[in-house]
């Protein structure tokens, strides 16, 4: 009994210790990188922004998505780049933030009513998919490409992620396994490629502008068939 108590205590303390260590590293990266000498052509203000960005990525990956985000807004306001008030106004009142917020609500609704589970069962139940995981992956990536080309990239990625999680749950995979991880990354790539497929979409205009700026080559959308 004593050994079991010690083992349970150690297992409960280790996640808490990892949380505190990662939280300390997050704050250290956000604040400390800004005090490092800025290499050319980065300015001292740029070093502060880079430090906040790197610390935010580390915090989101290891700790949480809530308090590192709030800390980012506070530090941006204290860095001199903007004020704390404007940082929160831009953070919570931006069109993209509101778009993602309502999109996640929509995805929660379709997941709550098992719409994603329905599509997952339909895809898994096809005979030509059974025993062929890469055929299933090809179907998901192709759907991501086509949906992004016809609609938008962010809704496509979030909805496809929901379907992937439902499929992986049916197949007995965990979120950290290699196969679902490859699918999650592949959906991002396929959606980005699909968003640039149509010459009248914003993705194509951005890519064409970058090519023209870097290489000096103008791509006329009228010649794309």
- Give the separation between CA 68 and CA 75, rounded to whole angstroms: 10
Report how far residue 82's alpha carbon sits from residue 70's, in angstroms, rounded to the nearest whole number.
15
**Residue 55 tokens, joined:** 């610390």
Q: According to the model, what pLDDT value does residue 5 have?
A: 47
Pick the more confident residue, 51 or 212: 51
pLDDT score for 117:
83
Which residues, 6+ apart, have CB-to-CB distance to 147 below 8 Å? 156, 159, 160, 191, 194
CA 85 to mean position of chain CA atoms: 26
Per-residue pLDDT at 222: 57
Give pLDDT tens digits for 196-224.
Answer: 887 777 766 777 777 777 777 766 655 55
Q: How much is the pTM?
A: 0.59
User: What confidence tier does 170 reach under pLDDT thresholds 50, 70, 90?
Assistant: confident
- Smallest Cα–Cα separation from 28: which of 4, 53, 55, 6? 55
Average pLDDT, the chain: 82
116 against 136, higher pLDDT? 136
Handedness of CA 85, 86, 91, 97 (dihedral sign): positive
pLDDT score recorded for residue 2? 45
Decide: 187 and 160 in contact? Cβ < 8 Å. yes
DSSP-assigned letters across all residues of 104-125: HHHHHHHHHTTHHHHHHHHHHT
Please write the tens of the pLDDT for every residue from 30-49. 999 989 888 888 888 989 99
More confident of the two residues 51 and 101: 51
Q: How confident is the model at residue 110 (pLDDT cuts 50, 70, 90)?
A: confident
Tell how far CA 54 is from the center of its chain.
Answer: 15
């Amino acid at each position: 009994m004593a050994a079991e108590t010690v083992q349970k205590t150690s297992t409960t303390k280790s996640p808490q210790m990892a949380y505190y260590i990662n939280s300390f590293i997050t704050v250290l990266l956000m604040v400390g990188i800004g005090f490092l000498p800025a290499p050319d052509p980065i300015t001292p203000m740029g070093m502060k922004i880079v430090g906040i960005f790197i610390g935010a990525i580390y915090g989101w990956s290891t700790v949480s998505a809530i308090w590192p985000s709030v800390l980012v807004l506070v530090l941006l306001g204290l860095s001199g780049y903007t004020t704390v008030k404007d940082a929160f106004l831009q953070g919570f009142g931006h069109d993209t933030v509101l778009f993602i917020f309502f999109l996640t609500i929509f995805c929660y609704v379709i997941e709550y009513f098992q719409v994603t589970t329905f599509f997952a069962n339909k895809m898994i139940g096809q005979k030509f998919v059974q025993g062929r995981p890469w055929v299933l992956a090809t179907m998901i990536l192709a759907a991501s490409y086509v949906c992004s080309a016809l609609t938008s990239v962010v809704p496509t990625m979030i909805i496809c992620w929901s379907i992937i999680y439902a499929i992986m749950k049916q197949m007995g995979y965990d979120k950290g396994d290699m196969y679902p991880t490859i699918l999650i990354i592949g959906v991002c790539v396929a959606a980005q490629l699909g968003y640039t497929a149509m010459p009248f979409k914003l993705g194509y205009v951005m890519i064409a502008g970058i090519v023209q700026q870097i290489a000096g080559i103008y791509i006329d959308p009228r010649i794309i068939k």
